[in-house]
Structure formats: structure tokens, C-alpha cells
Structure 1
Amino acid sequence: MRWSIHQLHQLQHKGLTIDEMADVSELKEVDASIRDISPVRIHGRADVSAKKFTFHLTIEGTMQLPCSRTLVDVSYPFAIESTETFFLNDYDATDEESHVVQGDAIDLMPIVKELILLEVPMQVFSEQPDHPDAVPQSGKGWTVISEEEYENKIDPRLAKLAKFFENNNES
């Protein structure tokens, strides 16, 4: 996923079609919530002009993330669409999808990795809450309950106080 400026200028009138598989497994060390990630497919095209290179990319793959509730592995497929523009000289610094070419080559892999990291969700939930590898949902003296169960439960220390207010309302 690296092209020299000279190679891209030779493709100026033809255009460039991209369809590659890339190994991004090193993202597991960058983000501990990514337990595994399959090789990603990167496809799209590049528009080449004299001073500007625009890449229209689609990045597809699957990553394994921990369920927020049970910690079992959840398969999370992703498809990211992005347009990245590279300029040979100054550019509009307010545009996040614009870059200045550094050196004599364009390498898309750092951008692909950044886009994948931005795609990692804050929480994922398993479709199988009773998975055999799941974290236990109860133990000695405790249990995980839903919000509805929590709201309907009255603290036993305050139960007599509730009766006191009921007696005052009747008087």
C-alpha cells in the first residue's frame, strides 16, 4: 500500500484501482480491547493529478472484541469508507482527510490503521448472554440484575420508613 510519487504520476491518465488484503494484526498491541483481527480487504480507486492524489477507499474486515457484559469474544464486522487526499505542497490544514506528502512516497497503511482504530466501538454485547465461557452472573451474596428489577426493589432498611409515611397520609 505504498507508491512513489513517480509511480502515481505515470498512472495519472489511467487511474489506479486498489484491491488488496492487508495484515493489521499489530493493532492488537495498540488497543487491548482488540483480541483478534482478520486480514482486512482494502479496495477502491485513486484519482491522480499533477499536485493532488485522492484515494477513495473501502476497508472491510472483522475484529474480535470482548462483550461488555460477559467478556466472551464477539465478532464485530466493519466496513469503513474514506476519501483521503494527499497534496505535494501546502494544503487546507482544517480538513482532517487531507495530508501533505512526506518524502517521495505515499503510504496508506498508517491511515488504514488509524481508521480501523477509530471504528472500535465503546461497547459490544454478545447475542448469547448464557455462553459457557461467560463471566458468572451471580455468586455468594450477589447477583447481576436488570435496571427494572433494581428500581422495583425496596431497600429493606427503608421498608419501615415507607410504612411510616403511609400511616401519616391516612391520618
Structure 2
Amino acid sequence: MRWSIHQLHQLQHKGLTIDEVADVSELKEVDTSIRDISPVRIHGRADVSAKKFTFHLTIEGTMQLPCSRTLVDVSYPFAIESTETFFLNDYDATDEESHVVQGDAIDLMPIVKELILLEVPMQVFGEQPDHPDAVPQSGKGWTVISEEELENKIDPRLAKLAKFFENKNES
């Protein structure tokens, strides 16, 4: 996923088609919520001109993330479409998808990794809330309850206090 400027200029009239599979397993160390990630398929094309290189990319893969409710691994497929433009000299800095060529080569892997990290959702929920490997929902002296159950349930230590105020209102 790395081309020299000279190679790209040679492909200017022919065009460049991209279809590669890349291992991005080091993303597990960058974002610990990614428990596993399959090799990603990167495909697309590049438009090459004298001072500008535009890559139209589609990045597809699957990552394993923890379920927010049960912490069981959930398979999360992703497909990212992006257009990245590289300029040989200054460019409009307001466009996030524009870059200045550093050195004499263009490497797409840092951009691909960044796009994948941006695709990681904040929460993922599995299909089976009662999965056998799920985090326990109760234990000795505690249980997980919903907010509705919490609002309707009166703390038994305060139940007599509620009766005290009822008696005062009656008199």
C-alpha cells in the first residue's frame, strides 16, 4: 500500500486499481476494545494527475468487540468508503481527507488504520443477552435490575419513615 511518486506518475494514463488484503492486527494494541480483527480487504482506484493523487477506497473487514451488556465477543463487520487526496505542494488545510505528500512516496496504511479506528463504535450489543459466557446478572447479596424496577422498589430501611410522614399528614 505504498507507492513512490515516480511509480504513480508512470500510471497516470493507465490508472491504478487497488485490491489488497492487509493485516492490521496491531490495532488491538492501540484500541484495547478491539479483541480481534480479521485481515481487511482494501479495494478501489487512484486518479493520478501532475500535482494531485486521489484514492477512492473501500475498506472491509470484521472486528471482535465486547458486548456492552454482557462482555461477550460480538462480531462487528465494517465497510468504510473514503476518498483521500494527496498534493505535491500546499493544499486547502480545511479538508480532512487531503494530505501533503511527505517525502517521495505515498503510504496508505496509516490512513487505513486511522479510518478503522474511527469506525469502532462506542457500544455494541450482542444478540443473546443470556449467553452462557455472559457476565453474571446476580450474585450473593446483589442482582442487576432495570431502572423501572429501581424506581418502583422502596428501600425496606426507609419504609417505616414513609409511614411516619403519612401519620403526620393525617393529624
**Other structure's SS at 1:46 match:** strand
For the residues of structure 1 that align with 2:95 and 2:127, how far apart are their CA atoms? Answer: 39
Q: Deviations over 1:100-135 (max 9, x none)?
A: 101111000000001101111111111111111111
**Structure 1 residue 170: Cα displacement:** 5.5
Per the alignment, residue 47 of structure 2 pairs with 47
Q: Deviations over 1:4-32 (max 9, x none)?
A: 11111111122211111111011111111
Per the alignment, residue 153 of structure 2 pairs with 153
Q: Deviations over 1:69-108 (max 9, x none)?
A: 2111110111111111100011111211111101111000
**Other structure's SS at 1:116 match:** helix
For the residues of structure 2 that align with 1:167 and 1:43, how far apart are their CA atoms? Answer: 75
Q: Normalization by structure 1: what TM-score?
A: 0.93
For the residues of structure 1 that align with 2:170 and 2:46, how far apart are their CA atoms? Answer: 79
For the residues of structure 2 that align with 1:44 and 1:154, how far apart are their CA atoms? Answer: 60
**Other structure's SS at 2:99 match:** strand
For the residues of structure 2 that align with 1:169 and 1:53, how far apart are their CA atoms? Answer: 79
For the residues of structure 2 that align with 1:61 and 1:92, how far apart are their CA atoms? Answer: 31
Q: Which runs of 5+ in 2 are unaligned?
A: none
**Structure 1 residue 34: Cα displacement:** 0.7
CA separation of 1:170 and 1:13: change in aligned 2, threshold 3 A: farther
For the residues of structure 1 that align with 2:168 and 2:52, how far apart are their CA atoms? Answer: 79
Q: Which runs of 5+ in 1 are unaligned?
A: none
Return structure 1 stretches of 4+ with deviation > 6 angstroms: none
**Other structure's SS at 1:19 match:** strand
**Structure 1 residue 164: Cα displacement:** 3.9
Q: Deviations over 1:109-167 (max 9, x none)?
A: 00000110111111111111111111111100001111221121112233233334445
For the residues of structure 2 that align with 1:4 and 1:10, how far apart are their CA atoms? Answer: 10
Per the alignment, residue 77 of structure 1 pairs with 77
Q: RMSD of aligned C-alpha atoms?
A: 1.4
Residues 1-171 of structure 1: pairs in structure 2 closer than 5 A = 1-167=1-167
